Amino acid sequence: MLGHIGVASRAEIKKMVKQGRVTVDGLKVKDSGLQVNPDQSRIEVDGEAVLYREYVYLMLHKPAGVVSATEDNRDKTVIDLLPDEYRTFSPFPVGRLDKDTEGLLLLTNDGALSHELLSPRKHVPKTYEADVAGEIGDSHRQRFAAGVELDDGYLTKPAELHVLEHYEKDGQSCCRISLTIVEGKFHQVKRMFEAVGSKVLYLKRVSMGTLTLDPELPKGAFRELTEEELYRLQHIHQKENQ
Ligand code: URA
């Protein structure tokens, strides 16, 4: 589809096609639905070669206060954080983070990869860091390792808990922890801590499968995945399928 040349939105491309500004192998394109093989054809807009690609893969450092959706009547969405040149690909978030959760969110228009990463059968690990209320210790680690029963009776899969730091806030004991889970039930991390009598005060996702949040990426910023990041993400899940 010519709608994805990565220099303008689909609507803009359509307009440019109508204006006669787009050529494929030197021939003016009249129909923006024309099928083009970008490996074999040279696409130009106003006589300049353009990079054509079908998919886009973005790592977003989600800030609190935006929702993991493509559209929302009330709140700003993660897609609102992208400029038009990326929105033209119609990316969507791979899974959801709560509005108040920060951290790693993959945005793509590659439905197949998204499906692989989210499939419950694949058990893709997701690691979170959190500040939680109360003293967390070895008994919690063991309970999480065995799986905990959530408020609706669901027994979670084994999860790996590490205590990173103990500290006091407003006279109350708190802990910074990391937790790796292999599923994605609604509000799962928060509900797991509620199940053991604690409460999540702050939550951030730091990794999903082989993809780790780039520590150089400021909150609210995004970047494209590197070739290696994409390869590893695609490759590891292919291997898991075998
Ligand atoms: N678990 C939660 O409770 N919230 C999230 O945003 C992600 C995992």
What residues are in contact with ligand 1 under a 6 Å CB criterion? 97-98, 101, 187-190, 203
pLDDT digit string, tens, across residues 29-55: 888 676 667 678 787 888 887 766 778
Q: Whose CA is nearest to atom 4 of ligand 1?
A: 187
Given this model, what pLDDT does residue 76 score? 98
Q: In this predicted model, what pLDDT tens digit does every residue of 184-216 receive, in sequence order?
A: 999 999 999 999 999 999 999 999 999 999 999
pLDDT band at 71 (very low <50, low <70, confident <90, very high): very high
Mean pLDDT for the stretch of residues 132-160: 97
Q: What is the mean pLDDT of the chain?
A: 90
| Strand-pair partners of 178 | 129, 162
Identify the structural domains of the chain with CATH numbers, from first to last: 10-49 (no CATH), 57-121+211-241 (3.30.70.580), 126-208 (3.30.70.1560)
> Which residue, judged by its Cα, is nearest atom 2 of ligand 1?
187
Compute the distance between CA of residue 230 and CA of residue 177 in angstroms, rounded to an integer: 28
Please tell me the distance from the alpha carbon of residue 137 to that of residue 226, in angstroms, as a whole number. Answer: 38
Q: Which two tokens stand for residue 26?
A: 């030197």
Q: Determine the residue of 101, 179, 213 to mutate for testing ligand 1's pocket, defined as the one with the most ligand atoms within 8 A of the Cβ atom.
A: 101
pLDDT of residue 88: 81
Predicted structure pTM score = 0.87
For ligand 1, the distance from its centroid to the CA atom of residue 239, given in whole angstroms, is 27
Q: From ligand 1's centre to the CA of 189, what distance in Å?
A: 5
Residue of 62, 98, 118, 205 to mutate, ligand 1, most atoms within 8 A of C-beta: 98
The residue among 236 and 75 whose pLDDT is bigger is: 75
Is residue 98 annotated as part of the catalytic site, yes or no?
Answer: yes
Look at residue 1 and tell me whether its pLDDT is greater than 50: no
Long-range Cβ contact pairs of 25-29 (< 8 A, separation 24 or more): 29/2
One DSSP character per residue, 59-112 reads EEEEPTT-BSSS--SSS-BGGGGS-HHHHTT--EESS---TT-EEEEEEES-HH
Q: How many CA atoms lie less than 13 Å away from 17 in the CB half-sphere?
A: 20
- What's the length of the chain? 242
240 burial via Cβ count (<10 Å: 0-12, 13-18, 19+): middle
Q: If you measure from the C-alpha of residue 96 to the centroid of ligand 1, how many angstroms do you get, rounded to a whole number?
A: 8
Q: How far is it, in rounded angstroms, from Cα 191 to Cα 1?
A: 44
Between helix 227-241 and helix 111-118 the angle, nearest 10°, is: 60
- CA-proximal residue: ligand 1, atom 7 (nearest): 97
Q: From CA 212, how far away is CA 229, in angstroms rounded? A: 9
